[in-house]
Structure 1
Amino acid sequence: MSRPSLDEARTKIVATVGPASDTVEKLVALIDAGVDIFRINTAHGSRQQHATVLGNIREASNQTGFHVAVLLDLAGPKLRMGQLLQEPLACGMGAKLTFIRGDQPKDPYEITSTYAKLIDELEVDDRIMLADGTVSLVAATVTEDRAVCRVVASGEIRSRQGINLPGVKLSVSAMLPRDIDNAIWAAEQGIDLISLSFVRSADDILQLRALLAKHQSSALVIAKIEKPEALEQLDAIVDATDGVMVARGDLGVEIDVAETPVAQKRIIRVCRRKNKPVIVATQMLESMHHSSRPTRAEASDVANAILDGTDACMLSGETAVGDHPAKAVAMMNRIMLCTEKELRHSIGDRSVTDRVHPITTAVTHAATNIAESIGAKLIVIATRSGSTAWVKSKSRSLVPTLGVSESPETLRRMNLLWGIKPIQATQMADTQEFIDEICRWGHANAQLNPGDQVVFVTGTGVVKQAHNLLLVHTVQ
């Protein structure tokens, strides 16, 4: 299909790139199916592999003509087990596993960790979760060099799987040396969004912002919420960041899994109140790793996230290593389209954001209400930075909206914003030429017909840095 299309979902799709999807041909198929943002996960692969994937994404973007965005996900202080002597290792109820210092286990039930200070920060009765919560332990004894733990929930573990310590306050930095190196590389490559894992406070976000500013990066910073400390500091974190990811994998291990749905709703609610985009991630269409169809529960999960107000949903293993990457994206798009029919424009929403001039905010709200009342086919917002589109996105109006800019960077970043479809223009300075260019685009793509009404939001230049012109145009 030709993208952007006025008929595609307003909720954005983030897809993780991996061996199942990393060629140009497969990336083109995913863009055509509805992907708005590709995620590169630095927890896996080498710098050379990441560079190759980035090059392939940009080539796929060129081939499709769609300004797809790139999200680089910094691994953060993810704790992992070292190499096991026996793999997989069955951990029966009541069995004892021992964490040791170093990286040389001498017994199958001795476990090493990538976090050198693990034993120092464990105390008796602390809980330890292995392999995303598959196996649960309780620390029985802790000495200078060993922590003996008892299995209280049985299962199998493998080398390099994750370690979670719910309730344990770790002293590890939010950004490890490899994260700093990856962030600098992302800045040098002009990557659009950078997410930070295991955020615990607003200071973690501010450190990343300072690093990016030092390297002249305008990337949007995304805070991944997956620690109890982040929930305790949620308002401050949301204030400090450009957007939030509800990282339900580790969050569902760090807190009681029964609390995760309520935590997700709370995070989305706070982000909407503060006008920050939010991505819901992890296991959204998990069964589509191998099945060509999702379960009914998974379809409901995606729908409920949209009804709660998420801006984007993310696919992880489904597109990275799954058997049906393009089908998973197409299915998510279908669920989004069906669910969005139940959304309603919030006419009473008049919140102000410090991202834009108050006149721009007022004009954008008015344009949305006018478009709703006259049944306009399209809203068109001229924007240099994308901030005006940010205001329109919050209304959840179903009137299709183009975010039009001369800047490729702005076009890519707008892919995070609900309902905003990025289009590049060359005639934004002259209002009539701008209108004509959009109408030519609409005719060429069979998306506008004579008699359709289009609401334009732009500026006259009389009010500095403000959009003060609202115009209703009837297509000829």
Structure 2
Amino acid sequence: MTRPRFEEASTKIVATVGPASDSVDRLAELIEAGVDVFRINTAHGTREDHDRVLAAIRQAAEQTRFPVGVLLDLAGPKMRLGQLVSDPLQCDWDMRVSFVRGDTPGSPNELTSSYKRLIDELEVGDRVMLADGTVALKVEKVTADRADCRVTGPGEVRSRQGINLPGVKLSVSALLPKDIDNVIWAVKNDIDFISLSFVRSASDVKSLKSLLQGYESEALVIAKIEKPEALEDLENIVEESDGVMVARGDLGVEIDVADTPVAQKRIIRVCQDKMKPVIVATQMLESMHHSRRPTRAEASDVANAVLDGTDACMLSGETAIGDYPVEAVKTMNRIMRQTERQLLGLQRVEPPENNHVHPVTTAVTLAATGIAETIAAKVLVIATHSGGTAWVKSKSGMRSLIPTLGASDDPKSVRRMSLFWGIKPLLMPQIDDAQRLISEICQWGRMHDKLHAGDKVVFVAGTGVMKRANNFVLVHTVE
């Protein structure tokens, strides 16, 4: 085992699994390169595919002995084009195309959609964006069975590409029957994180949480922000969620692309205020689909997300279908590390007020971080059953470059900590005995050449760890 590594990035990496990365050996390579969480995208593949991918992830985690987390991304009400008569279809300026009911278009200029109520919800003057916003249409006439549109932004479209309707409020639920089926599958397979697509209000998140509670699942709910309505109800959505994803692909189509960077910063800031993990996603290293090196703009994009305070960045096609998945992860890790080094060793701000966190836990965690910085500790160790104290450390307002181990005796908690900024998860068989914990951490550190005689280690735990209020800080010098 080479991970957790003290010298790796504190900002976490989420990698999407696809044909380019779904073998056990490749997944193990990606873990060693720096992946903390693997994403299974239910918009693609069958249940059999997802079973096979999850089994491969579990095997790779066992092979590397690193507790990588798993995020199941629900497809939600994503609208897609049906099969085109002429594939691809070149949409020229001022060209007329029409959406028609059913699954079979009658001519090259007729389009069908996976969303059966599309024609019912379109109105004259509405904008329709195709293929991630590369082609734009304007609705000019709507009848019972068709919506006639004019091309206002030319380009090429292909079958199954996405449809976005900026400004159109759809009546469809964020949780479709196929999503509920995937949630049940996730619960049965002990998935760590479930992301909900096209969230529009906090009630969407509550619906998913209620479903999970009905199955007594501990999976954390990640709300994907990709609709204008979500930005309008952002504070409530973040409050209700366990974490948030800035899904810039659809968000950048649903709102003006010029507004997307500001929206990203706002989302991250609200997540920081409410102490919730946040993931920045989509097109972070897009050119690495077919190139071994990113563009300078992409490197700056990753660095700025780190500087803004994101907990994690996500790779999509780069690792799912790209030519260089391992190189993409290594490159992202390197950019993150270099950016983090430019930060002050300790960024101390007033910790946000949060009713869900015991004030003693926050105070002791902040103090322990300050102690570790002051004495130049080799590592900070947080003993936690549920991962809650590690979560407080990652969101406390003090982002330190001192390596922090989240030691837990619960495999589920260890996997959940894989998304927490700066927390390096470590499974320990017993953490409720302080002397044994110290001995096992020192033994682990010596075995993996992380700790040497004279190194100082700061431990944070509760009285016997079982208490919610963590009130135990100890500084140990390695013998």
Sort the TM-score into its range (normalised by shorter chain).
over 0.9
Partner of 1:134: 134
Given that 2:105 and 2:111 are in contact with CA atoms closer than 8 Å, whether structure 1 keeps it comes out as yes
For the residue of structure 2 that corresponds to 1:346, the secondary structure is strand
For the residue of structure 2 that corresponds to 1:436, the secondary structure is helix
Partner of 2:31: 31
Distance 1:304 1:465 in 2: 35
Give the gaps of 5 or more residues in structure 1.
none
Cα offset for 1:362? 1.2
Partner of 1:425: 428
Given that 2:39 and 2:71 are in contact with CA atoms closer than 8 Å, whether structure 1 keeps it comes out as yes
Distance 2:202 2:218 in 1: 19
The one-letter code sitting in structure 2 at the alignment partner of 1:18 is G
Cα offset for 1:455? 0.6
Aligned pairs for 1:161-172 (under 5 A) are: 161-172=161-172
Distance 2:264 2:430 in 1: 42
The one-letter code sitting in structure 2 at the alignment partner of 1:433 is R
Cα offset for 1:119? 0.8
Aligned pairs for 1:144-159 (under 5 A) are: 144-159=144-159
Distance 1:463 1:15 in 2: 34
Distance 1:197 1:426 in 2: 36
| 1:140-162 deviation digits (Å, cap 9, x = unpaired) | 11111111000000011111111
Cα offset for 1:462? 9.4
The one-letter code sitting in structure 1 at the alignment partner of 2:347 is S
For the residue of structure 2 that corresponds to 1:75, the secondary structure is coil
Distance 2:355 2:411 in 1: 23
Q: Cα distance 1:428–1:352, how it changes in 2: closer, same or farther (>3 A)?
A: farther
| 1:218-268 deviation digits (Å, cap 9, x = unpaired) | 001000000000001100000000000000000000001111111111111
Distance 1:142 1:371 in 2: 66
For the residue of structure 2 that corresponds to 1:190, the secondary structure is coil
Given that 1:356 and 1:388 are in contact with CA atoms closer than 8 Å, whether structure 2 keeps it comes out as no
Partner of 2:478: 475
Distance 1:262 1:422 in 2: 32
For the residue of structure 1 that corresponds to 2:49, the secondary structure is helix
Cα offset for 1:352? 4.2
Given that 1:88 and 1:158 are in contact with CA atoms closer than 8 Å, whether structure 2 keeps it comes out as yes
Partner of 1:117: 117
Cα offset for 1:464? 3.5
Distance 2:474 2:353 in 1: 22
For the residue of structure 1 that corresponds to 2:119, the secondary structure is helix
Asked whether 1:353 is paired with 2:361, we answer no
Given that 1:352 and 1:361 are in contact with CA atoms closer than 8 Å, whether structure 2 keeps it comes out as no
Cα offset for 1:467? 1.3
Distance 1:334 1:94 in 2: 46
What is the TM-score when the length of structure 2 is the normalising length?
0.98
Distance 2:429 2:467 in 1: 21
Distance 1:314 1:62 in 2: 23
Cα offset for 1:463? 8.4
Asked whether 1:266 is paired with 2:266, we answer yes
Cα offset for 1:358? 2.0
Asked whether 1:340 is paired with 2:343, we answer no
Partner of 1:383: 384
Distance 1:389 1:352 in 2: 17
- What is the aligned-residue RMSD (CA, Å)? 1.1
Aligned pairs for 1:46-445 (under 5 A) are: 46-344=46-344, 345-394=346-395, 395-445=398-448
For the residue of structure 1 that corresponds to 2:342, the secondary structure is coil
Asked whether 1:3 is paired with 2:33, we answer no
Q: Which moved more, 1:458-467 or 1:425-434?
A: 458-467
Give the gaps of 5 or more residues in structure 2.
none
Q: Cα distance 1:462–1:16, how it changes in 2: closer, same or farther (>3 A)?
A: closer
Distance 1:10 1:175 in 2: 33
Cα offset for 1:284? 0.4
The one-letter code sitting in structure 2 at the alignment partner of 1:262 is V
Identity %: 67
State the 4+ residue runs in structure 1 displaced beyond 3 angstroms. 352-356, 461-464
Cα offset for 1:373? 1.1
